[in-house]
Structure 1
């Protein structure tokens, strides 16, 4: 299978915690869409197999007009095999979702919405710099369901300094009560060169409390597992049949083509990422010299990456894949057995994965197993 990812680099305003690439000016939107199409056509021969998933991320893709979406998707339909297309996801913000917008997305073939809710509390949303209100956070989900979207995921953020444990509990219970079948939850982190980083350094807000994050995450996990959700990746919980097919392809090491500024691609052995600058991206494509970097993964890199990703999800690591690198894995196998004996890992039919206890320390376990 193969996936297509489109990075739409525009947002209404900047959230204080975000370090993704985006612009708050829409002046280049039409030109950007045309350039994205240009890159798509230039790289179409890099995908030989049918496309199974398409994902519009960003930024805020829901800022695109119906016509702009249509131009991109028509190009995809005329140039790629879509006989196996299972999932077409668009990331959206609550304040962009009207009945008209939702119906337009449906006519385009969108069958999955990823809604950036983050919190159902007004105070939290204002603190984070979100453009939507608490009322919109809830109403957009009800509206999407009314229009006919049943495959909906929402993002929530925990560990917010001004959020109490009780408020986090209410966020989780609200999401469950709304019947959302998939939740992605992320611990607030202070990234360099963000407004939040500046605020923490200047004492304008409290720093993130690791213990609060751990409490919030444990509550989330307990509640979701008790309500028929499956934790299939550290931060992702879905009911049966509602796992993100596109994101799962990343975690299973499958191929995908990333289009747009800052978008990443992977063909199984080579990772490529486009320049994170709208003007440079546009100029490069128009001049016939796209601006990007790439890395050819060595056999050791492939092992270490497989360990890092595999230990964070329910499918785990495959000895067949690891052995295909041709490296001597004797020491790795010894260390895996040791961690199985201590309860952090468990055997699977073809490899190993983290236990419930081990999942809490997945990154540290992977680092212990890395080949030097």
Structure 2
């Protein structure tokens, strides 16, 4: 059998070991140290922001801490994009709060501003003003974030931006992850850069970052003994893992370029295939890192389904994957409120994520091209 072509595998740059060795040589084998500080500074510089960045164990931890810092407690409601990975919504349940899901719009596949405002008005009419809004920049595509921010400001609701998939993406020149009161970044093994597992929280100011790090390190009070006045979490990033991140930051721009090249690669493959649409930016205001390249298949026009193509690729040991199954259709979340029509449901039924790694070889790309050509023929 042919070797596996993965959807999105880790891609090392070469200097990661240098920073890891430094951690070992100086015995900084802890959830603090020069690599953690350096990685946070690298991220802040890359995001070109006055906001503060705190390195954490995961993007999920960042969303959870963002909810806590936004004052979300048991019984509150939080609006969340329905079309996303479950990590966007799970932390709402950690807090004992209620998720309220909102449909996507067709241009960016992200939270629909119209349905968002409808949801807010209806929740207020029901006597429950939402405490926070979690929009997502799906597959690296920036959401209609200026419209979402305007609505959030109008109703004075905090935004916790899920930028886990969109490091390096911009809207009108501003980096994703810098629009909300808080934002989550992810460095999971499949992301555009990786620390194997890891994430970061972006906060408005130094005081918010200090509070986030306090909670992320078991909320230990300032005392010579172990004293705790708040519930804390073990959410801090280790100095070794942060060393991988520092090495990865050196190749981030290159990796973004390679991911964007993969999207052009699929644009070329499907350019004359009726019924297949390659996901792309709506206009020049949007710059996507194209973390994953995605297509939708109109079966009536194309003569085949998303699933037919997925299985043909799998037959040759090439991984592809349906788009995220919307949260309001998931067994654990289906009992919660949902506002919208069936846009994210239709995207789930017709959409496919294709192999998009920045480390795909020329031979692997040729294999993908041949398998798709044979399938289309």
TM-score by length of 2: 0.29
Greater relative contact order (Cα < 8 A, sep 6+): 2
Higher strand share: 1
Report the TM-score, using the length of structure 1 for normalisation. Answer: 0.30
